[in-house]
Amino acid sequence: MSFAEYTDAIKAFVTLHREWAAPIVFVLAFGESLAFVSLILPFWGMLVVIGTIIGATDSLSFWGIMTAAAVGAALGDWLSYWLGYHYHEQIARMWPLNRYPNLLPQGHKFFTRWGAWAVVVGRFSGPLRASVPIVAGITQMPALRFQLANWSSAFLWAFVLLSPGSFGLKWWLDHMS
């Protein structure tokens, strides 16, 4: 089964079983934010599709789905941060970080320069989304500072990701009929 077929299957399932929308969105956002998983499986496309389903129907709560996405994303980043914080020496020797020995020193400079804003910027950048939290942990970014940036940017990210499909389609349907 191709990734497009998985996307279509999830879209069809959410359309038919709306009560599962929030748990599915939670899992997709968690995977999208987990260290290096989103580089292999870009779940953000499925999340955009679910935002469109919200706009096409009145049976899904935008705010409930958005909260599920934000919590999933924040917990995925939290786990990535924790892994980096506690296993920084081992992770630095693992693939793909072992192939890029300058990545960690550059990550440390990035966090030194931008602080908590590095987490916020990383949330909105596809390739950085899953790697910034683990590098934040590896570079020993203070936990409270990381979590404040993590949770606030997760809610903003979820809103930005789901809004165009949800509100844009709803507006278009209301004004074109």
- Taking the C-alpha atoms of residue 166 and residue 106, their distance in angstroms, rounded to an integer, is 38
Are the beta carbons of 55 and 167 closer than 8 angstroms? yes
What is the full DSSP assignment across 46-92?
HHHHHHHHHHH-SSS-HHHHHHHHHHHHHHHHHHHHHHHHHSHHHHH
Residue range of the domain that includes 61:
3-176
Q: Which two tokens stand for residue 172?
A: 């278009």
What is the C-alpha to C-alpha distance for residues 74 and 129, in angstroms, rounded to an integer? 11
Given a cut of 90, is residue 91 above it in pLDDT?
Answer: no
pLDDT at res. 54: 64
d(CA 103, CA 170): 43
Position 129 scores a pLDDT of: 72
pLDDT of res. 14: 67
Model pLDDT for residues 109-168, shown as the tens digit of each residue: 777 788 889 899 888 876 677 678 888 998 888 999 999 999 999 999 999 888 876 655
Comparing 104 with 73, the larger pLDDT belongs to: 73
Rounded to a whole number, what is the largest CA-CA distance in the chain?
59
What one-letter code names the amino acid at 1?
Answer: M
Domains held by the chain: number: 1
CA distances to 13, 39, 53, 95, 165 from 35, in Å: 27, 9, 28, 12, 26
Please report, for the chain, how many H helices and E strands are present, in that order. 12, 0
* pLDDT higher at 161 or 41: 161
Amino acid 159: pLDDT: 92
pLDDT confidence tier of residue 19, bands split at 50, 70 and 90: confident
169, 162, 176: which is closest to 73 by C-alpha? 162
